[in-house]
A and B are shown apart, each in its own frame.
Chain A
Amino acid sequence: MAVEDKLKIELGKQGVFVTTVNEIYNWGRKNSVWPLQFGLACCAIEMIATTMARYDLARFGAEVFRPSPRQADLMIISGTITKKMAPQVVRLYNQMAEPRYVIAMGACAISGGPFKQGYNVLKGIDRYIPVDVHIPGCPPRPEALIHAFMTLQAKIDAQPLTGTERPRHLDAAAMSEFPVPTQGAHDLEPPANRLVWPLPAPVASGENCG
């Protein structure tokens, strides 16, 4: 049962702390997000800087970078994903325990960035796995990563535990295995997971001009 905000504040003034299961559950989740310890390219340097004393990601409960996906909740895609690396990234994501989140850090992780025209660069990791927060930048500054992290925390905090909006790990029918692409003769197969990355609506020519 939800408590009205005003009542909660009033009770708080009287020294009574009231919460709901939903709130305390999400409070626990959002303050113990452990990232997976891996970096892909130059964005990783900024990610490392974020964890160090000057920017101190530990303030948000994310100081423990886990070297195994079994113990990690958050995957920070920090850098360019080459097509040679993409299956490994997707497999690691699959090996993480639920609930799991993904931050796509930097232009390359979002869209391929400056290497978009490259023959060996994946044009954005969200072709294969669902991304929670995108950070633009090349590379984004540590503040941007912290902001993305706080955005993720806000997202976790706002999630109801029941209903259609509930997190994936509480939904028995939700997709949990994301197919790992295979490396084919000319490209990754399939080039995108259509369940995660539906084909966008056709664009009428001239519509985007001006």
Chain B
Amino acid sequence: MKSTEEILALIHAALPAANVELVLNPSPCAQHSLRVAPADAFAVASFLRESDELALDYCSNVTGVDWPDKEITEKVKVTQLVDGEEKIVEETIKRIEPGYLESVYHLYSIKRAHEAIAGPVVLRMRTINRTDQVQLPSLTFVWRAAEFQEREVFDLFGIVFTGHPDLRRILMWDEFEDHPMRRDYVDPDDYEYEPTPHDEVLKRAEQQSKPTGVTA
């Protein structure tokens, strides 16, 4: 198996215009991944599959990642005039880094199975934000196995795969509106009773029994 850097070099050699970058994984497993711009995804995916050297013909897993809006606190040193004197003052600046959704594809090669020892090739795509611009291109036409898993990602994360042949919910019912795997999903309050409620559940139980006042 080639290293991720080598695969990236191959992609760049074949598709010089494609916007693909390496995402390093600093943890000991060092499972680096390739982030591809949605516009180039189809070309890159087709190359990965068709190229004789890589022949990544098996998509084992499609999943999603939710990156919520992050509040970042930074300490910046600013020069300020205090009482006519220039001083270096530390200021804390808060800014909000907008979140996004990510789809992750794990690719293997059956054709070159004997070389696949270093784990899957990880392909990632990012949406623009988490609310209204959540479209990503579907890779179902490259890897047929991605069809149901993209439906699952659509169901649980709310990423809309454009060009998907049959984009419906797969786990939850059709009338369901939320995306349960998102970080900000609030699940319905239906824990009304436990024999020994405590902490959060106790709070909920007390809250629920208050407004109606109905008892058993």
Contacts and interface: CB of A to CB of B under 8 A. Distances in A.
A and B touch in the complex (CB under 8 A): yes
A186 B177 contact: yes
A120 B175 contact: no
Interface size class of A (residues with CB under 8 A): 20 to 34
B28 interface: no
B52 interface: no
B193 interface: yes
A120 B206 contact: no
B209 A202 contact: yes
Interface string B170-201: 01111111101000010110111100111000
Given A123-B191, A200-B216, A84 B210 contact: no
A187 B177 CA distance: 10
Interface residues of B, number: 29
Contacts of B208: 199
Nearest to B209: A202
B190 A192 contact: yes
Contacts of A84: 171-173
Nearest to B215: A201
A15 interface: no
B190 A187 contact: yes
Contacts of B216: 198-201
A119 interface: yes
Contacts of B192: 192, 199-200
B73 interface: no
A113 to B, nearest CB: 13
A205 interface: yes
B181 to A, nearest CB: 9
Contact of A183 (B173, B191, B196, B198): B173
Nearest to B208: A199
Contacts of A208: 196-198
B202 interface: yes
A115 to B, nearest CB: 12
A163 interface: no
B27 interface: no
A181 to B, nearest CB: 11
Contacts of B202: 203, 205
A187 B209 contact: no
Contacts of B198: 208
A116 B204 CA distance: 15
B178 A186 contact: yes
Contacts of A117: 187
Contacts of A199: 192-193, 208-209, 212, 214-216
A198 B197 contact: no
A202 B215 contact: yes
B205 interface: yes
A205 B192 CA distance: 15
Contacts of A123: 190-191
Contacts of B196: 208
A116 B188 CA distance: 12
Nearest to B216: A198
B215 A120 contact: no
Closest 3 CB pairs of A and B: A202-B209, A187-B188, A183-B173
27 contacts: A84-B171, A116-B191, A119-B188, A120-B172, A123-B191, A183-B176, A185-B176, A185-B178, A187-B188, A192-B192, A198-B216, A199-B193, A199-B208, A199-B209, A199-B214, A200-B192, A200-B205, A200-B209, A200-B216, A201-B209, A201-B215, A202-B209, A202-B210, A202-B215, A203-B206, A205-B202, A205-B206
